[in-house]
Amino acid sequence: MPTLKKINLGIIGYKNHALRLIKEFSKSKYIDKIIVFHPNKKLDFDIKYLSTNNFESLKSCNAIVISSPTNTHFKYLQLLKEYSGYIFLEKPAIDKPSQERKFISFKKDFLSRIYINYNFLFSETFTHLKKLINQKSFGKCIHFRAESTHGLAFKNEYLHSWRAKINSGVGEMVATHYYNLFLNLFNYKDQKKVIICKSNFSNVKEAIDTVHITNNQKSDFQFSIFCSYSSAFSVSIKIYGTNGIITYDGNELLLRSPRDTLDSEGRFVKPPVIKCIRINHASEWKRSLSSSVDYFMKIVLTRRSFDKNYQDTAIRTMHPFY
């Protein structure tokens, strides 16, 4: 099948992350035209973007981006099930078991043209973590921990935001990134032992502003993911191995080893840093989004299929959040 030289792109969504994607895709020299859809608003965009309220007109595009509020993702996916182009689907694809059953029943050809975006997997953080956890100096993993917090729940905009109304709240918006990272790092399969605790500390209606995900039974190793919209800003990853510890604080990724680091009296002390990689979290998040868009464009232009294993993991990512 001949490759494409340029494509027309439809985008569902126009604010926040959708706007980031609009700007990111517009950088590509392979984009001829961008059409932004909203069901009832006439969007005031730069002249190089077209605005439409006609959903059917999107189907003439070579590819469509779905980056609307997360509780509408699957609705749009269903409306596009006979669509012959490619779909960049911002996570999550689904948010309930009934949607998963319908998703896996879609035609294989349609599924092969859907990319579910977890751009963390295109980050230097993921690449280096993958290398470090396989080093002898780290040993066997026994515990993975990730934390991400900030104070969105105390901003006025949160009170009326759809983010405060979705079933899993910050779990669906933030924790899924770290759980997907965890699944891809360790190919974790034992999801029957996964539990999620949901809380509301901001008192914004029924909003889920804090979640904690962990495994509560005997397993090959333990994990813990804590995310909140009700605290000060923090981002961290800590992975414990039988011979070392990996830490990431949003600026430096460190490997400390060996385990048997002792002081002059034979007591265990903190191991020395044997690997230090500087990675700024904010900058890397932007770069990984750009890399994710580039990956999508390469598949579209060459008319190939997306990796089924990647898609399966993206679907499994949502299991704790149902």
* Cis status of the peptide bond prior to 258, with omega within 30 of 0: yes
Q: What is the pLDDT of residues 118-160, one digit of tens each?
A: 999 999 999 999 999 999 999 999 999 999 999 999 999 998 8
Q: How confident is residue 242, by pLDDT bands cut at 50, 70 and 90?
A: very high
86 Cβ contact list (under 8 Å, min separation 6)? 62, 63, 64, 113, 114, 115, 296, 299, 300
Contact of 9 with 65, CB cutoff 8 Å: yes
* Helix, strand, or coil (residue 157): helix
Average pLDDT over residues 83-100: 95
pLDDT at 281: 95
Among positive and negative, which fits the CA dihedral 131, 20, 206, 101? negative
Q: How confident is residue 253, by pLDDT bands cut at 50, 70 and 90?
A: very high
pLDDT at 130: 97
Which part of the chain has CATH 3.30.360.10? 122-284
Residue with the bigger pLDDT between 216 and 24: it is 24
Average pLDDT over residues 266-278: 98
From 50-54, 197-201, 205-209, the region with the lowest mean pLDDT: 50-54
Please provide the DSSP assignment of 70-125 as one string.
Answer: GGGHHHHHHHTTT--SEEEEESPS-SSHHHHHHHHTS-HHHHTTEEEE-GGGGSHH
pLDDT at 217: 65
Average pLDDT over residues 219-246: 95
Contact of 4 with 303, CB cutoff 8 Å: yes
Using the predicted structure, report yes or no on whether residue 3 has a pLDDT greater than 90.
no
Interior/surface letters 143-176, b for 16+ CB within 10 angstroms, e for the rest: ebbbbbbbebbeeeebeebebbebebbbbbbbbb
pLDDT at 1: 60
What gap in Å lies between CA 1 and CA 170, rounded to an integer? 42
Q: How confident is residue 16, by pLDDT bands cut at 50, 70 and 90?
A: confident
**Angle (CA) 184 190 196, round 5°:** 85
From 49-53, 68-72, 204-208, the region with the lowest mean pLDDT: 49-53
Using the predicted structure, report yes or no on whether residue 205 has a pLDDT greater than 90.
no
Assign domain 122-284 one CATH number from 3.30.360.10, 1.20.1050.10, 3.40.50.970, 3.40.50.720: 3.30.360.10
Please provide the DSSP assignment of 122-152 as one string.
Answer: GSHHHHHHHHHTTSTTT-SEEEEEEEEE--G
In CATH, which superfamily holds the domain spanning 7-118+288-306+314-321? Answer: NAD(P)-binding Rossmann-like Domain (3.40.50.720)
What gap in Å lies between CA 76 and CA 97, rounded to an integer? 17
Q: Which of 148, 187, 140 is nearest to 170 (CA)?
A: 148
Average pLDDT over residues 7-33: 93
């921990």: which residue's tokens?
A: 145
pLDDT at 45: 62
Please name the amino acid found at residue 239: I
Which part of the chain has CATH 3.40.50.720? 7-118+288-306+314-321
